[in-house]
Amino acid sequence: MQKQGLNRADRRGFTMIELMIVLVVIGVLTAIALPSYKRSVMKSNRGAAKTALLDLAAREEKFFSLNNTYSSAITDLYGAATTLTFPLNAPLSGTAQYTIAAPTVTAATGTTPATFSITATPTGSQVGDTCGSYTINSVGQQTVSGTATGCW
């Protein structure tokens, strides 16, 4: 008489232990990879903001070289046909992670030269970034408001 059922070699599938091991491995990999991914995305967003700020600063310097003054008017900096408005978003397409307000402009008086200052302020999911906001001015000084170092 033959035994009823399948012997061990004929069974197919996974045991509960094997499934639990796979879930633990996936959980550990996720716990390691997700924070690293988020840091990478935030760093990329900071790069987009810095690029937009430096582009705006270059436009200010070009305007200054032609007019001997800085401007906070978007049409002066991007041309009369521009559809952009302040505050600018960085990146320019997609979800805004930084806002860039109109440049703060100080006119020249006596021996004090004209200056400008532009700041990229985190918004949306970037608000939690410890790197904070980034400011550049007409003499090239770059300052940050965040507590972390080496971000920008």
Quote the pLDDT of residue 149. Answer: 84
Instruction: Tell me if 96 sits within 8 A of 86, measured CB to CB.
Output: no
pLDDT tens, position by position, 46-68:
999 999 999 999 999 999 999 99
d(CA 63, CA 77): 7
Burial of residue 102 (CB within 10 Å: 0-12, 13-18, 19+) is middle
Is the pTM higher than 0.85? The answer reads no
Write down the mean pLDDT value for the chain. Answer: 90
pLDDT tens, position by position, 115-146:
999 999 999 999 988 999 999 999 999 999 98
Nearest residue to 120 via CA among 108, 103, 140, 139 = 103
Would you list the domain boundaries of the chain? 14-144
Nearest residue to 46 via CA among 138, 140, 146 = 146
